[in-house]
Amino acid sequence: MTEHNNSGVVFVLGGARSGKSRFSEELAAATGLERHYVATGRAWDEEMRDRIARHREDRGGAWTTHEVPLDLVGCLRATDQADRCILVDCLTLWVTNLMMAERDMAAEFAALAELLPRTKARIIIVSNEVGLGIVPENRMARDFRDHAGRLHQLIAAAAAEVYFVAAGLPLKMKG
């Protein structure tokens, strides 16, 4: 077993297809720890089912995968061990799932932000930065953008390191 000094949570933000997931997987592999992948996506349609299958195949057998559309905090509690690296991909899909389930967003976000500083595992969290574009035209999209922005601020505050990835290039913003 590899010794690990958990230096906290790593938060990786970027746009769609920016390279943030690949970068996060490389960070996780470099830890030498047992790797757990927490997938928050749901297969709402055939294209998403295919996308999820491709992601599973691309990761290969080095990962234990947990499909967790809603109970992210419960999954992190259940898998949290010092000899593990847990990669959560991604927060924006989790936000979508919470919105569709009409969950209490503030309570869910607070529970996650409260848990993160107490974890023993190395936690890498991936999310899409959606606040850099134009104001969305409909209320649900605006609510989504606002929820994601508030969550990102909480996670960035709790994280030891924060990266922004664009065009496959990570920019370290914190830590």
Measured CA distances, 167 to 87, 149, 162 (Å): 21, 21, 17
133 vs 121, higher pLDDT: 121
Q: 11: left (phi > 0), else alpha (psi -120 to 50), else beta?
A: beta
Structure pTM?
0.91
**Residues 12-33: what's their mean pLDDT?**
95
| pLDDT number for residue 4 | 35
Mean pLDDT of the residues in the chain: 92
| pLDDT number for residue 74 | 98
Instruction: Tell me: pLDDT of 146 over 80.
Output: yes
Give residue-wise pLDDT tens across range 68-126: 999 999 999 999 999 999 999 999 999 999 999 999 999 999 999 999 999 999 999 99
**Residues 145-163: what's their mean pLDDT?**
97
| pLDDT number for residue 1 | 31
Answer whether the bond into residue 75 is a cis peptide, omega within 30°: no
| Own/partner long-range contacts of 101-110 (Cβ < 8 Å, ≥24 apart) | 101/70, 103/70, 105/147, 108/72, 108/73, 109/147, 109/150, 109/151, 109/154, 110/154
How far apart CA 153 and CA 127 sit, in angstroms, is 12
Identify the sign of the CA torsion 90, 120, 161, 62. negative
| pLDDT number for residue 3 | 35
**In Å, how far from its chain's centre is CA 54?**
18
60 vs 166, higher pLDDT: 166
| pLDDT number for residue 7 | 56
Which residues does the annotation mark as catalytic? 55
**Residues 37-66: what's their mean pLDDT?**
83
**Residues 132-137: what's their mean pLDDT?**
89
